Amino acid sequence: MEKTIGIRREDKNEWERRVPLIPEHIQELNERHAIKTQLQPSSLRIFTAADYAAVKAELKDDLSTANTIFAVKEMPVDFFERGKNYIFFSHVVKGQAYNMPMLRRMMELKVNLIDYERIVDENGRRLIFFGRYAGLAGMIETFFAYGQKMKAAGISTPFKRIKQAYAYSSLADAKTEIAQLGEYIAENGLPAEVNPVVVGFAGYGNVSLGAQEIFDLLPFREITPLELINNFDSLNSEQHLYKVVFKEEDMVKPNSGEFILQDYYQHPEKYEGVFEQYLPCLTMLVNCIYWTEQYPRLVTKKYLQSQGKTEQKLKVIGDISCDIDGSIELTQKVTYPDQATFTYHPGSNSFENGTSAPGITIMAVDNLPCEFPLESSVEFSMVLKNFVNDIVEADFMVPFEDLQLPFPIKKALILHRGKLTPEYEYIREFL
Instruction: Using DSSP bridges, classify how beta strands 360-363 and 220-222 pair: parallel, antiparallel or unpaired.
Output: unpaired
Confidence of residue 238 (pLDDT cuts 50, 70, 90): confident
Q: Return the pLDDT at 307.
A: 87
Domains of the chain, first to last: 3-129+373-430 (3.40.50.720), 131-371 (3.40.50.720)
DSSP β-bridge partners for residue 319:
287
* pLDDT exceeds cutoff 80 at 283: yes
Contact assessment for residue 360 and residue 317, using Cβ atoms and an 8 Å cutoff = yes
Q: What does the pLDDT average to over 388-405?
A: 97
Confidence of residue 420 (pLDDT cuts 50, 70, 90): very high
Q: What does the pLDDT average to over 340-347?
A: 96
Q: Return the pLDDT at 13.
A: 86
- CB-facing half-sphere around the CA of 384: CA atoms within 13 A: 29
* pLDDT exceeds cutoff 90 at 309: no
* pLDDT exceeds cutoff 90 at 243: yes
* pLDDT exceeds cutoff 90 at 196: yes
Contact assessment for residue 57 and residue 51, using Cβ atoms and an 8 Å cutoff = no
Q: Return the pLDDT at 358.
A: 94
Report yes or no on whether pTM surpasses 0.85: yes
Q: Return the pLDDT at 134.
A: 96
- Neighbouring C-beta atoms of residue 284, cutoff 10 Å: 26
Q: Return the pLDDT at 286.
A: 98
Q: Return the pLDDT at 369.
A: 95
* pLDDT exceeds cutoff 80 at 150: yes
Share of the chain above pLDDT 90, in %: 95
Confidence of residue 428 (pLDDT cuts 50, 70, 90): very high
Three-class HEC string of the chain: CCEEEEECCCCCCCCCCCCCCCHHHHHHHHHHHCEEEEECCCCCCCCCHHHHHCCCCEECCCCCCCCEEECCCCCCHHHCCCCCEEEECCCCCCCCHHHHHHHHHHHHCCCEEEEHHHCECCCCCECCCCHHHHHHHHHHHHHHHHHHHHHHCCCCCHHHHCCCHHHCCCHHHHHHHHHHHHHHHHHHCCCCCCCCCEEEEECCCHHHHHHHHHHCCCCEEECCHHHHHHHHHHCCCCCCEEEEEECHHHHEEECCCCCCHHHHHHCHHHEEECHHHHHHHCCEEEECCCCCCCCCCCECHHHHHHCCCCCCCCCEEEECCCCCCCCECCCCCCEECCECEEEEECCCCEEEECCCCCCEEEECECCHHHHCHHHHHHHHHHHHHHHHHHHHHCCCCCCHHHCCCCHHHHHCEEEECCEECHHHHHHHHHC
pLDDT digits (tens, 9 = 90+) for 43-71: 999 999 999 999 999 999 999 999 999 99
pLDDT digits (tens, 9 = 90+) for 201-237: 999 999 999 999 999 999 999 999 999 999 999 998 7
Q: What does the pLDDT average to over 282-288?
A: 98
Q: Whats the size of the chain, residue-wise?
A: 431
| Helix axis angle, 373-393 to 23-33, nearest 10° | 20
Q: Return the pLDDT at 183.
A: 97
Q: Return the pLDDT at 61.
A: 96
- Neighbouring C-beta atoms of residue 87, cutoff 10 Å: 26
Q: Return the pLDDT at 311.
A: 76
